[in-house]
Structure 1
Amino acid sequence: MKKLISLAACVVISTGVWAQTKPAESKTAADSLLNSMDSATRAEPVIATFKSTRLILGATTETVKKNNLNFLVIHRFGDIGGSEGGGKTFFGLDNSSDIYIGFEYGLSDNLDIDFGRSKFAQQVDLGLKYAVVHQTSDNAMPFAVTLLAKAGVKAYHDDQGAFPAFSDRFAYVAQAIIARKFSSNFSLQVTPTYVRDNSPFPFLPGNDRGFFAMGIAGRLKVTKRMGIVVDYAHPFSSFRSNATGGNAFYDPLGVGIEIETGGHVFTIVFSNAKAISETSYLSASQSDWGKGQFRLGFTISRMFSFNKKAKKAY
Structure 2
Amino acid sequence: MKKTVILLALAAFGFNAGAQTKPDTKTNAADSLMNALTTTNDKGEKVSAAFESSRLILSQSTEMVKKQNLNFLVSHRFGDVGGADGGSKIFWGLDNSSDIFIGFEYGVSDNFNIDFGRNKFEQLLELGLKWAVLHQTKDDSAPFNITLAGKAGLKPYAVTTGVFNDYSNRLNYYYEAIISRKFSQSISLQIIPSYLRNNLPYPLANGNEQNIFALGVGGYIKVTKRSGLVFDYQHPFSNYRSNSTDPRFYDPIAVGWQVQTGGHVFTVNFSNSKAISEINYLSDTDSSWGKGQFRIGFTISRMFDLSGHKEKKEGGY
TM-score if structure 1 supplies the norm length?
0.85
Q: What SS does structure 2 have at the residue aligned with 1:282?
A: helix
Which residue number in structure 1 is paired with residue 221 of structure 2? 220
Which residue number in structure 1 is paired with residue 292 of structure 2? 292
The percent identity for this pair of structures is 58
Pairwise CA distance, 1:37: 9.1
Whole-angstrom distance in 1 between the partners of 2:186 and 2:39? 25
Whole-angstrom distance in 1 between the partners of 2:214 and 2:167? 26
Pairwise CA distance, 1:221: 0.5
Instruction: Please say if residues 39 and 139 of structure 2, whose CA atoms lie closer than 8 Å, have aligned partners that are also in contact.
Output: no
Whole-angstrom distance in 2 between the partners of 1:44 and 1:149? 28
- After superposition, residues 91-102 of structure 1 pair within 5 angstroms as 91-102=92-103
Whole-angstrom distance in 1 between the partners of 2:154 and 2:84? 31
- After superposition, residues 63-102 of structure 1 pair within 5 angstroms as 63-102=64-103
What are the superposed Cα offsets for residues 213-233 of structure 1, whole Å, 9 maximum, x if unpaired?
Answer: 000001100100110011000
Is 1:108 paired with 2:109? yes
Pairwise CA distance, 1:40: 4.9
Structure 1 counterpart of 2:145, one-letter code: A
Instruction: Please say if residues 78 and 297 of structure 2, whose CA atoms lie closer than 8 Å, have aligned partners that are also in contact.
Output: yes
Which residue number in structure 1 is paired with residue 260 of structure 2? 260
Q: How many residues align?
A: 275
Q: Does 66-75 or 201-210 show the bigger shift?
A: 201-210
Whole-angstrom distance in 1 between the partners of 2:40 and 2:193? 33
The structure with the larger Rg is 1
Structure 2 counterpart of 1:181, one-letter code: K
What are the superposed Cα offsets for residues 231-286 of structure 1, whole Å, 9 maximum, x if unpaired?
Answer: 00000000000011x31000000000001111111000000000001110111100
Instruction: Please say if residues 122 and 157 of structure 1, whose CA atoms lie closer than 8 Å, have aligned partners that are also in contact.
Output: no
Pairwise CA distance, 1:168: 0.6
Whole-angstrom distance in 2 between the partners of 1:231 and 1:289? 14
Which residue number in structure 2 is paired with residue 209 of structure 1? 210
Whole-angstrom distance in 2 between the partners of 1:233 and 1:292? 19
Whole-angstrom distance in 1 between the partners of 2:83 and 2:290? 9
Q: Which runs of 5+ in 2 are unaligned?
A: 1-35, 311-317
What are the superposed Cα offsets for residues 77-130 of structure 1, whole Å, 9 maximum, x if unpaired?
Answer: 000001100000000000000000010000000000010000001000000000
Instruction: Please say if residues 81 and 296 of structure 2, whose CA atoms lie closer than 8 Å, have aligned partners that are also in contact.
Output: yes
Structure 2 counterpart of 1:116, one-letter code: G
Pairwise CA distance, 1:71: 0.3
Pairwise CA distance, 1:42: 2.6
Pairwise CA distance, 1:38: 5.3
Q: What SS does structure 2 have at the residue aligned with 1:300?
A: strand
What are the superposed Cα offsets for residues 161-185 of structure 1, whole Å, 9 maximum, x if unpaired?
Answer: 1224211100110000000000000
Runs ≥4 residues deviating over 4 A: 35-38
Structure 1 counterpart of 2:168, one-letter code: S
Q: What SS does structure 2 have at the residue aligned with 1:79?
A: coil
- After superposition, residues 1-314 of structure 1 pair within 5 angstroms as 39-244=40-245, 246-309=246-309
Structure 1 counterpart of 2:151, one-letter code: K
TM-score if structure 2 supplies the norm length?
0.84
Q: Which runs of 5+ in 1 are unaligned?
A: 1-34
